[in-house]
Structure 1
Amino acid sequence: MTLATYIGDLLYRYECVIVPNFGGFVSNEISAKVNHYTHTFYAPSKQLTFNVNLQNNDGLLANYIASSKNISFLKALEYIYKEVEAWKNTLKDETLSIENIGTFTVNANGNYIFEPDNTINYLTSSFGLNSYNSPAIKRIEYKQKVKQLETVALVLPTKESNRKTPAFIKYAASAAILFALGTLGWKEYQKIEYNNLIVEAEQQQQQVEKTIQEATFVIANPLPAITLNVTKQTYNYHIVAGAFRDPINAEKKLNELVKKGYNAKILGVNKWNLTEVSYMSTNSKNDAINTLNKIKRTISKDAWLLVKEL
């Protein structure tokens, strides 16, 4: 698998994927749209943009590569830096094409110009929804045809049509008129009944409101009010000791770190159903980096920093 494949996998799950020392791919969800010129309908999707200022490693891409390739976090970072260096060398002379992501060029000012690949829809809720064409409805042509038929089918009076109308037709017309009058009378009767029901319902509602307003509710021994102040301590930086598929192994690792004097805890289950255990958590970035470097030198080189509010 190439680096582009790992980036594409993460874009299905996250709105931002940062490639260290290169930039960040940011996705924005856009609603369904229609092209009124081609009569093409497009499903909701994610629109990719590129931000060259997002270069700091947040650990997301490296951690995913390390888990997928079953290598350490540092080796995953080396793999990323090697691929990025190859990308930059390509951009010196030609256009860089990243599979299913887009293409990069460099303008006269040395800035990256990104053109996203619109053939891939990274919005999982639109999976299986493809664009389609719907021919325009030609209502004007249908009206013109009707007018033409009316012109052709024009009926002119003849001697036969001027003859006396048969009696059964007169009776049928009279019956139709009486039926129409009866229908109108029945509708008026229903309308009056409906209005009477509305008035009666409003009167009942007013009576209920009046009864509630006049009622008095007394509680002999009211309970005292209780105020609970619960604060939850959250941390943004976590030094991860390991991620385990079996929760029992995560508990063993936690007990081991606690016995060694670390303020260890279980961070929870990540997106790969692995239970993460940390050496410690803090809100100080400097403390987290210093502690991480110390742990890598003395205890484990596989420890890594998770930046997430937990």
Structure 2
Amino acid sequence: MQLEHYISDLLYRYECVAVPNFGAFLSQRISATVHESTNAFYPPKKSLAFNEQIQTNDGLLARYIADVENISFETATEKIAKRVKSLKSHLIEGETLAFENIGDLKLNSEGKIAFSPSYHLNYLTDAFGLSQLVSPAVTREVYKQEVEAIEKVIPITVTAEKRKTKHYLKYAAVAFIALTLSGFVVSHYHMNDIAAQNEVAQEEASAQLDSKIQEATFIISNPLPSATLKVTKQTGNYHIVAGAFRVEANSDKKVEQLKAEGFKARKIGVNRYGLHQVAYATYEDRFEALSALNAVRKTSNSDAWLLVKQLD
């Protein structure tokens, strides 16, 4: 039994997945971060950790395995215990346990289990479809320093001799101010005149529109009979997610593709990051949804996952 696959499924929805008599895998939400030296933007995610002290059986893992494999809770518990015994024997022999998309486990010098998390998969469903982004550094401070250096080398000054020989500059400044004020007055008058003309034209257009609407008003004396269409709407809170798309047109294409393959595909809304989510189908029964998810992963998409959410 590949125990890590079931643990990986549960980490999407739970913050603690305990393996009886072995330890617990813990997840914690981390906000988006920016690397100062590389200018890389990392989306929010769930960080993984392992606690060997938590070994109690809360029944979560056994119930999930029993639902997926359609076996009893007792049988699932026995399979977990058998797998744990095998894992411990490998650790004692000095081997490293590689749990796909979760991390590596091995014994340290003190005989404790050391865990190295994997970063290949983001278990935060809200960040589904988001990837790392690298932005070029902003260099406006460098430009500011260059300008300051130029001002120090080439200062702008006006000596007393230049002021005595260029009296016309004073009169030119006065003329410039006078022209600016007169232009402002003329422009203000012109704008007011245009606004008044626009208001009159708008009133005339509204009157003509009202007249046309009155002439076009009519009554159908013999209307067609009403038609009743029966539409089947998918209901339920269990959705098998096929993917999430930044462009809505791509999500529409995905829906049509899945419908052509025989799925009852549909769009299930936009998540908090603006991605359009597409589902293979929606189910009211949790056991039926888990069985369908297992079938989709085996035949179509190994990355499909189950979203438990009540849609509006």
Deviations 1:8-51 (A, max 9, x none): 11000111111112111111222222222222222222121111
Deviations 1:238-270 (A, max 9, x none): xxxxxxx9xxxxxxxxxxxxxxxxxxxxxxxxx
Residue matched to 2:120: 119
Deviations 1:183-233 (A, max 9, x none): xxxxxxxxxxxxxxxxxxxxxxxxxxxxxxxxxxxxxxxxxxxxxxxxxxx
Q: Residues 272 and 4 from structure 1, CA distance in 2 versus in 1: closer, same or farther, beyond 3 angstroms?
A: farther
Residue matched to 2:9: 9
Query: TM-score normalised to the size of structure 2?
Result: 0.51
Unaligned stretches of 5+ in structure 2?
A: 185-235, 237-283, 289-312
Moved more, 136-145 or 162-171: 162-171
Residue matched to 2:105: 104
- Contact (CA 8 Å) 2:67, 2:287: kept in 1 or not? no
Residue matched to 2:64: 64
What SS does structure 2 have at the residue aligned with 1:14? coil
Deviation at 1:125, TM superposition (A): 1.2
2:168 to 156, 165, 169: 165
Residue matched to 1:140: 141
Query: TM-score normalised to the size of structure 1?
Result: 0.51
Unaligned stretches of 5+ in structure 1?
A: 181-244, 246-270, 276-310
AA at the equivalent of 1:113? A
- Residue pairs, 1:174-253, within 5 angstroms: 174=178
Deviation at 1:175, TM superposition (A): 5.6
- Paired with 2:158 and 2:51, the residues of 1 have a C-alpha distance of 80
- Contact (CA 8 Å) 2:8, 2:102: kept in 1 or not? yes
What SS does structure 2 have at the residue aligned with 1:122? coil
- Paired with 1:117 and 1:272, the residues of 2 have a C-alpha distance of 33
Moved more, 131-140 or 114-123: 131-140
What SS does structure 1 have at the residue aligned with 2:143? helix
- Residue pairs, 1:8-87, within 5 angstroms: 8-87=8-87
Moved more, 57-66 or 71-80: 71-80
Q: Residues 53 and 144 from structure 1, CA distance in 2 versus in 1: closer, same or farther, beyond 3 angstroms?
A: closer
Deviation at 1:176, TM superposition (A): 5.3
AA at the equivalent of 1:9? D
Deviation at 1:151, TM superposition (A): 6.9
Q: Across the two proteins, how many residue pairs are aligned to each other?
A: 187
Q: Residues 149 and 59 from structure 1, CA distance in 2 versus in 1: closer, same or farther, beyond 3 angstroms?
A: same
Q: Residues 29 and 155 from structure 1, CA distance in 2 versus in 1: closer, same or farther, beyond 3 angstroms?
A: closer
AA at the equivalent of 1:119? H
- Paired with 1:53 and 1:144, the residues of 2 have a C-alpha distance of 57
AA at the equivalent of 2:174? K
Q: Residues 67 and 177 from structure 1, CA distance in 2 versus in 1: closer, same or farther, beyond 3 angstroms?
A: same
Residue matched to 1:212: none
- Contact (CA 8 Å) 2:30, 2:47: kept in 1 or not? yes
What SS does structure 1 have at the residue aligned with 2:168? coil
Between structure 1 and structure 2, the one with the greater Rg is: 1
AA at the equivalent of 1:77? T
Deviation at 1:4, TM superposition (A): 0.7
Residue matched to 1:273: 286
AA at the equivalent of 1:165? Y
Deviations 1:168-191 (A, max 9, x none): 6522224658999xxxxxxxxxxx
- Paired with 2:52 and 2:148, the residues of 1 have a C-alpha distance of 63
Q: Residues 96 and 26 from structure 1, CA distance in 2 versus in 1: closer, same or farther, beyond 3 angstroms?
A: same
What SS does structure 2 have at the residue aligned with 1:104? strand
Q: Residues 16 and 272 from structure 1, CA distance in 2 versus in 1: closer, same or farther, beyond 3 angstroms?
A: farther
